[in-house]
């Protein structure tokens, strides 16, 4: 009986090793792939690179869009500047929104939602987050008080220094409304009153389109640098 038990164990071990070897072998025939076009797209898919693309440089499907082109539903998310920085935006971008009480009121609400935790309700840098992390300047102090609207818009979109980008939280139209209210805070005015300067579209400046998809699920500060 003991011999049969040992023989059975040896046979089982041999079968197990054989099965493992066959399973791990690269010599297996995987068979035919039925309707491969269902798995591998014939059109160029930017997120799936099955083989080298003979039409595009570098053989990649993904390419940078042509300058000036706008993806569907993304109008206003591209800023075509001579240089991608806040300084260039300050001279080349002008607020395309009309300076109205309605826009200012909406800008104040958006500012309270996204900016006041750091910059404070009065724009003095004394929000609850600003008090903890320190170094948040007042909108009425120094060069911050002179920042043009395009500069502020660029920082809202892309962030600067310790401030993170907010382009995914507020759409272009909302950003310009925030800019409008921030420029009022630069003058030390917290109440929605007369429209501040530099908030209307310029005939010579590059206007940023104002459509987009709004979201409001993150509390973040408005630009100061």
pLDDT tens digits, one per residue of 163-179: 888 988 999 999 999 99
Q: Does 26 fall in a domain?
A: no
Vertex 184: Cα angle to 182 and 189 (nearest 5): 120
What pLDDT is attached to residue 176?
A: 94
Q: Does 76 fall in a domain?
A: no
Q: Does 44 fall in a domain?
A: no
What pLDDT is attached to residue 146?
A: 92
What's the CATH code of the domain at 139?
Answer: 1.10.760.10
Q: Does 93 fall in a domain?
A: yes
Distance CA 137, CA 149 (A): 17
- Three-class DSSP category at 118: helix
pLDDT digit string (tens) for 89-111?
Answer: 999 999 989 999 999 999 999 99
Q: Does 75 fall in a domain?
A: no
Range of the domain at 186: 86-207
Indicate if the pLDDT at residue 114 is higher than 80: yes
Question: What value does the mean pLDDT of the chain take?
Answer: 76
What pLDDT is attached to residue 201?
A: 43
What b/e sequence results for 18-44 when a residue is b if at least 16 CB atoms lie within 10 Å of its CB, and e otherwise?
eeeeeeeeeeeeeeeeeeeeeeeeeee
Residue range 128-137: average pLDDT?
85
Q: Does 174 fall in a domain?
A: yes
Q: Does 105 fall in a domain?
A: yes
Residue range 38-59: average pLDDT?
75
> Token pair for residue 24?
């791990």
Number of domains forming the structure of the chain: 1
Q: Does 215 fall in a domain?
A: no
């Amino acid at each position: 009986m003991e011999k049969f038990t040992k023989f059975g164990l040896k046979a089982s071990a041999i079968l197990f090793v054989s099965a493992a070897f066959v399973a791990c072998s690269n010599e297996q025939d995987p068979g035919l792939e039925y309707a491969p076009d269902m798995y591998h797209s014939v059109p160029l898919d930017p997120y799936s690179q099955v083989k080298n693309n003979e039409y595009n440089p570098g053989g990649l499907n993904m390419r940078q869009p042509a300058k000036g082109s706008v993806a569907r539903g993304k109008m206003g998310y591209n800023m075509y500047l001579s240089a991608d920085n806040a300084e260039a935006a300050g001279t080349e971008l002008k607020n395309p929104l009309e300076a109205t009480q309605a826009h200012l009121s909406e800008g104040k609400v958006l500012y309270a939602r996204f900016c006041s935790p750091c910059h404070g309700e009065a724009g003095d840098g004394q929000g609850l987050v600003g008090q903890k992390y320190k170094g948040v300047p007042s909108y009425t102090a120094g060069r911050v008080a002179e920042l043009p609207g395009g500069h502020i818009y660029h920082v809202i979109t892309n962030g600067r220094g310790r401030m993170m980008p907010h382009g995914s939280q507020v759409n272009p139209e909302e950003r310009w409304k925030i800019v409008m209210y921030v420029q009022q805070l630069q003058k030390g005015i917290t109440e929605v009153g007369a429209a501040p300067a530099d908030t209307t579209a310029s005939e010579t400046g590059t206007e940023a389109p104002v459509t987009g998809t709004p979201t409001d699920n993150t509390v973040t500060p408005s630009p100061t640098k």
